[in-house]
Amino acid sequence: MSNNEEVSAFQVVHEEFSTREAIEEAKRCLHCKVPSCEKGCPIGNDIRDFIHELSKGNMGDAMAIINEKSNLPAICGRVCPHEKQCQGHCVLARKGNPIQIGKIEQFIADFDTSMNLTREKLPQKDRGKVAVIGSGPAGLTVAGDLARQGFSVTIFEGQDEPGGVLMYGIPEYRLPKKVVRAEVKKIEALGVNFVCNALVGENNVTVDSLFRQGFDAIFMGTGTGVPQNMDSTPGADLHGVSQSTYFLHNVNSFNEGAVDRNVIPLRKGERVGVIGGGNVAMDAARTAIRLGADVTVLYRRTQEEMPAILSEYEEAVKEGVKFEWETTVEEFIKGKNGRLGACRVKSPAGERIEEFQRIYLAIGSRPANRIVSTTEGIEVDEKGYVKVLDRPVGMTTRRGVFAGGDVVHRPQTVVLAMKAAKEVAQGIAQYVDAIKLLQDVGVELKEEPTDITAGSDAAFEKK
């Protein structure tokens, strides 16, 4: 398989709606008085209304309705678990033919991008100054929501291009990178500034230095960038045992033309095992299949307990991925040249030796401690997840520093990270408004104590 053939193997799996198809699908909507589809949407999209506008051909109005709730519709339309959320709640799902809400949302957003329709009336950016660390789903959502409310927002991204997991962690066939770039440009058009190659917590860029630059509040949307490993399993350090996230990142870079094929840790014809049962495991398995591997997913629980989106599992099976349920790897066994050659696996049928040339781990991830370790006053739990308050929503134990998404709530889907981020955005707005009001009436906030959970009046003093 040539490089060009391998790149073409990552073409989008499902075709998009044509204009006629999208409008015809929208006309099927019953426009329910009590829309159950909206109850299934974590961010409360006004699904009934934007579908109704599409059915009349009002593309701009449909997009305006979506923009009221979502900053990333072209992405959500592609990667959300629709069968568990909006589509799964559609009344027509009972007859096995729900409205294709995801494809409709995707169509409207793509149409808006291609025709350059959106022209939002934006307020002056004079309500406050907010720094956002990380440009994944949570960071982009907070930035978009606050920019629409009159805040000056700057996103600090450690990579050389915005998008976070959307850009580097999801395969091209599920989420084309041109779509991510288009959504980022829409966020930028709201007046959001982007600073890339800025890794907060290193090179003298810290939370404290951002406050010194005049930011009123800081949002941590850094996700869970440190993959879990299997260090306690014998042989886990063998060459050939690596992380799914590393594999996916390299493949995405290859598809973008940024690296050569030999950078990808996989050769055609190799027998590959993927350990895990979530969406990252499905992405790794389906990606490895596209590169010519023989792929088996090893999952420690049953099929019914697998957290991956059902449609992703079904697509993987169609593409030739094999699955072994209730199976764990007890040992990674050395083969030729000191590399991985096989695994000792345990299943209900007993123990056996199974040949593998590659193993990709997809067993979860946890937050990095780069920001926490360089900032006083931010408390985390025993696993490194940031502790936050209920009021204002999302504020950490360091006053003015907020967090949301996977860094707080454990790894979840894109739309659940967005849901949490939208709530935190309101908390940030309330906080900044409050401190500015206090300043206006002559009350100055002290730098100490940093532990705002104590609720002490010592944090305030009259000028």
Same domain flag for 237 and 202: no
Same domain flag for 204 and 291: no
Q: For the domain that residue 31 is a member of, what is the CATH number?
A: 1.10.1060.10
Q: Are 405 and 136 in contact (CB under 8 A)?
A: yes
Does residue 164 carry a pLDDT above 60? yes
Same domain flag for 240 and 357: yes
How are beta strands 217-220 and 129-133 bridged, if at all?
parallel
Per-residue pLDDT reduced to its tens digit, 341-352? 999 999 999 999
Q: Are 258 and 161 in contact (CB under 8 A)?
A: no
Does residue 370 carry a pLDDT above 70? yes
Q: What is the mean pLDDT of the chain?
A: 91
Q: Which residues pair with 218 in a beta bridge?
A: 131, 401
Same domain flag for 177 and 57: no
Does residue 449 carry a pLDDT above 50? no
Q: Is the peptide bond before 449 cis (omega within 30 degrees of 0)?
A: yes
Domain count, the chain: 3
Same domain flag for 211 and 268: no
Same domain flag for 150 and 90: no
Task: Read off the tokens for 347.
Answer: 């299943």
pLDDT value, residue 354: 97
Alpha-carbon distances, residue 314 vs 76, 99, 156, 161, 309 (angstroms): 20, 20, 37, 32, 9
Q: How many CA atoms lie within 13 A of 332 on its CB side?
A: 27
Q: Which domain holds residue 58?
A: 13-115
Does residue 334 carry a pLDDT above 70? yes
Least confident stretch, 206-220, 298-312, 425-439, 444-458: 444-458
Q: Which residues pair with 154 in a beta bridge?
A: 131, 193
Q: Specify burial of residue 114 (Cβ count, 10 A radius: 0-12, 13-18, 19+).
A: exposed
Alpha-carbon distances, residue 367 vs 208, 375, 381, 407, 442 (angstroms): 20, 15, 11, 6, 39
Higher per-residue pLDDT: 15 or 294: 294
**For residues 109-131, average pLDDT:** 91
Q: Specify burial of residue 372 (Cβ count, 10 A radius: 0-12, 13-18, 19+).
A: buried
d(CA 423, CA 28): 33
pLDDT value, residue 410: 75
Which residue among 363, 378, 409 closes a domain? 363
pLDDT value, residue 121: 85
Global confidence as pTM: 0.90
- The continuous run of DSSP H or E covering 274 comes out as strand 271-275
d(CA 438, CA 370): 32
pLDDT value, residue 229: 94
Same domain flag for 309 and 193: no
pLDDT value, residue 270: 97
Same domain flag for 339 and 426: no
d(CA 357, CA 17): 40
pLDDT value, residue 8: 62
Higher per-residue pLDDT: 94 or 333: 333
Residue 201 lies in a domain: yes
Least confident stretch, 41-45, 101-105, 355-359, 451-455: 451-455
Q: Is the dihedral of CA 32, 34, 40, 44 positive or negative?
A: positive
